[in-house]
Structure 1
Amino acid sequence: MRHKIAFITTEYVKPHLERILPQLGMDATFSIYAYHPFEEIDGFFRQIPREVDGVITSGNRFGSAFRHMFPRDRRVVVPMGINDAEVHRLFWRLKQEQPDLDFQRIYADFLDELHLSIPSFLTEDHGIPLSVSMDAGREQTPEEFLRGEYRQFQKLLEVWETGQFERIITRYSGLLPMLRQRGVQIFYPFPSIDSIRSACAQAQREIEMRQLQDYQAAEIHVNLWMPNPAYTVESLYEQRLLQLQQSLMDYFGSKAEDMLFRRSHFGVDILTDRKTVAQCTREYTVCELSAFLNARLDFRIFVGYGIGQGIYQARLNAITATRESEVSGGSYLVNEQDVLIGPLGGGEAAPPSPSVFSYMSSHAGISQATINRVLEVLGAMPNGRLTSQELAERLEITRRSANYFLKAMTQTGILQVVDMHRAAGRGRPEQVYGRAAAENTDRIH
């Protein structure tokens, strides 16, 4: 499949790119979007179609402004900088046109910012490639981008009006037409065909890597509200499960053909890919799937997303995320680094607790909000003790999830097993949990 690559540049550079791009012989479709200085960059960025796979920008300024404006846009953004060879060629071209030209009478804004004189740049090794050093530390918001443009225009005009320089070289290609109208002898080092080809090749590599990542294994678990499945009326459960399945099919539409739906003991599990999860969660920020289901169904559901290096890890992560949804509300996601993300809409994260519990939360694999709720239930118990059955009933979660949370908090030293309780009649004894001793908490901290 041919990649669609858009160039973000200025009107001054656009003809240069139109001449070079057909010579590359690359298997890609190119489009060029030319920016006019001082115009609203937000509106300019919005004209770039969503179907574009990657964006190549003239320098890092455009790229950083684009990322700030669309922080969750997953399209590849590659800056096309100016390198040493291109600047060298421009200097020597100017020298050929005017043999008596004094390099001390040339001002280059990017060299001035790097505290480099032109003779030292031309004759000495300054240690770092110009394309790297020029873009270092240049992260800008769209507003900063516009202010920087205007400041640079005023600065270059002031430099010229001092009368100290016969030529000015700038990396701000969009300013050239306006400055030339003011009589400024100003030039821009156009990117070479090699630089353009290199930027395109990098964009294609990153697009291919992103596409491979999109198809990384993922699972979505949507569980029904079942505090105790053993006492659930079977016909009611079956009716709700059918409603849930139909609603899921309506939500995904034709995309459902590329997914695997499985009925589980608790609801529906969906085997899919990372790209689908990103779409359902608006790039891991808001769970649109749960919003759709909650509007359609008259019973509670819990949504958890899991992403993994393989199907097994994706499934385990989806189970963990769904358990978190049962306790804390909202939807959760666990990624391939086993990082818990959420809640995805539907509520704010719990306020931070003391540092010892923040540390324990990161090692327990459950959120701070869940730890807080379990501790609240434990604190409300008359004897300060708790079984998994009691936790399940008070939090209205499954017994399986209650066991998982209690064991996770025991492994990290928040809780400890303080007794064993045997119900009347036969059966395995049930563990009773209480707060861990203070010395254990101090040791972990």
Structure 2
Amino acid sequence: MVRKIAVIATEFLEEFICKTLDELNLGFTYRIFTYHTFQDLKEIYKDITEEYDGILTSGSFPAHMIKLYYPREERPICFFNTDESAMYRLLLILLQRNRELDFDRVYADIIQMFGGDLKAFAEGKENMPDISELSEEEFSLERMLHLEQEQYEKHLELWREGKTDLSITRFSSIVLRLREAGVNVYFPYPGRSYIREVCGNLLQKIDKKELEEHQPGIVIIKIAASEKGFSQELDLNYVRLESLMTEFLKEWMMDYSIKRYHYGMEIVTSRKVILEWTEDMTEDRVGVYLKSKKTGWGFSIGYGLGMGLAQTRMNALSACHEAELRKNVSYLMSEREELIGPLGQNAEFILKVENSAGPEIQSSLSPLTLKKVFAAMDAAPKKGITAQELAFRLGVTKRSANRMLAALEKEGVLQVAYKKRTTSRGRPESVFVRL
């Protein structure tokens, strides 16, 4: 599939970028959207329709501006700055032209506006300032809107006062204006290999985003049983829940399946939808919707993300189980098995699961499942547990508990210590202990 890239750059760089991208022939199509100043970016962005898979900007400042103006932009954005190689190439050219070049009479905003020293950089004593990541605190929208003009005036002032023999700027938007004012100004063009690397990173991010959007997402809603424990009443509540959720889902243009299981109502959709419902793992739109219906019954909601359907379902079950313990709240478990919640209530990372069983244990079970199995065993008498007891403690079916124990036995993590009867009928159950 041929990707389509929107390139945002100044008119000064348009010809250079077109020539470079055409010569590199990186396998994507592109269109250049030109701007004069950072203030133009807000309107220019509106012309970048959904047909574009990603955005490439000529500098981290324009990319930062887009994020400030449109913080919910989800398409990958990459940029190419003036890198150190480009700066050294330009300085070498200038020194070849003038062996007596005095760095004290050169203003290079790319270095000096951040407190650096051009001579120290040229001698290899300082690195070029890293502006690949710009904080909103230091580079607010208000500051960004005036940054170009401030640097233009700085270059012009130093030149007119006779304090500089030449200027070097990373702001391609002010090059032509400075030249028109008579300033001897240079722009350090980024190298081809650097641009190729940036474009490659952008294409990788686009592929990753597309893959993530097709990953599954699951929501499990479990209705709290009434104190009287009437199964018929619970069944009716689930019928009502399915009707309510079907109504809710009609508002979203998406594919989904909804079905009731023994563990609750399960909605299978995509990762993208889950992130929208939770507003990037912070809020709980499903819970807010159900509470607005004033059903009168309590419920727990677990959102799950994962690399495959099995992991996603297990994570949703774990999140729902945590929500059930805390009553009438919602949790989310990510594909990295990070538990986040309660959603909508200053959600935070509650648990980042690591293999607490020890690095020597290699298991087909997830680290979270291992953690829960061992926690259940530690709480059991004599540190031994049956499938029935494990199912009760983890809130899963006995069949699932049997599978977990069988897997750990096969992998040499557990062993059967003895058998015991838990009922007066049927076969005795195996009691598992850790090796």
Residues 368-418 of structure 1: CA distance to partner in whole angstroms, max 9, x if unpaired? xxxxxxxxxxxxxxxxxxxxxxxxxxxxxxxx999779xxxxxxxxxxxxx
Counterpart Cα distance in 2 of 1:100 and 1:297: 81
* Aligned-partner SS, 1:341: strand
Letter in 2 for 1:339: E
User: In 2 relative to 1, CA 349–177 (structure 1 residues): closer, same or farther, beyond 3 Å?
Assistant: same
> RMSD of the alignment, in Å?
4.0
Counterpart Cα distance in 1 of 2:282 and 2:47: 24
**How far off is 1:168 after superposition?**
0.8
Any gaps of 5 or more consecutive residues in structure 1?
353-357, 366-399, 406-426, 429-445
Residues 14-42 of structure 1: CA distance to partner in whole angstroms, max 9, x if unpaired? 23223332222222232323232252654
* Aligned-partner SS, 2:250: helix
Any gaps of 5 or more consecutive residues in structure 2?
355-389, 396-422, 425-435
User: Which has the bigger relative contact order, CA under 8 A and spacing at least 6?
Assistant: 1
TM-score by structure 2 length? Answer: 0.67
TM-score by structure 1 length? Answer: 0.66
Match of 2:169 in 1: 170
Given that 1:244 and 1:297 are in contact with CA atoms closer than 8 Å, whether structure 2 keeps it comes out as no
More helix by share: 1
Counterpart Cα distance in 2 of 1:319 and 1:219: 9
Q: Which moved more, 1:3-12 or 1:47-56?
A: 47-56
Counterpart Cα distance in 1 of 2:240 and 2:287: 16
Match of 2:193 in 1: 194
Given that 2:340 and 2:351 are in contact with CA atoms closer than 8 Å, whether structure 1 keeps it comes out as no
**How far off is 1:167 after superposition?**
1.7
Match of 1:226 in 2: 225
Match of 1:278 in 2: 275
Matches within 5 A, 1:97-108: 102-104=101-103, 105-108=105-108
Match of 1:34 in 2: 34
Match of 2:14 in 1: 14
**How far off is 1:81 after superposition?**
1.6
Matches within 5 A, 1:99-248: 102-104=101-103, 105-112=105-112, 113=114, 115-118=116-119, 121=121, 124-126=123-125, 128=127, 130=128, 133-135=129-131, 138-139=134-135, 140-227=139-226, 230-233=229-232, 236-237=236-237, 239-244=239-244, 246-247=246-247
* Aligned-partner SS, 2:39: coil
**How far off is 1:201 after superposition?**
0.8
User: In 2 relative to 1, CA 75–95 (structure 1 residues): closer, same or farther, beyond 3 Å?
Assistant: same
**How far off is 1:268 after superposition?**
1.9
> Is 2:263 the partner of 1:269?
no
User: In 2 relative to 1, CA 25–253 (structure 1 residues): closer, same or farther, beyond 3 Å?
Assistant: same
Counterpart Cα distance in 2 of 1:137 and 1:39: 20
**How far off is 1:221 after superposition?**
1.0
Q: Which moved more, 1:168-177 or 1:330-339?
A: 330-339
Match of 1:384 in 2: none
Given that 1:224 and 1:266 are in contact with CA atoms closer than 8 Å, whether structure 2 keeps it comes out as no
> Is 2:294 the partner of 1:321?
no
Residues 281-332 of structure 1: CA distance to partner in whole angstroms, max 9, x if unpaired? 2322333444555567856554320123444442233123334555454543
**How far off is 1:340 after superposition?**
2.9
Counterpart Cα distance in 2 of 1:40 and 1:291: 39
Residues 205-231 of structure 1: CA distance to partner in whole angstroms, max 9, x if unpaired? 222233333344432113345335940
User: In 2 relative to 1, CA 244–210 (structure 1 residues): closer, same or farther, beyond 3 Å?
Assistant: same
Aligned residue-pair number: 355
Given that 2:337 and 2:352 are in contact with CA atoms closer than 8 Å, whether structure 1 keeps it comes out as no
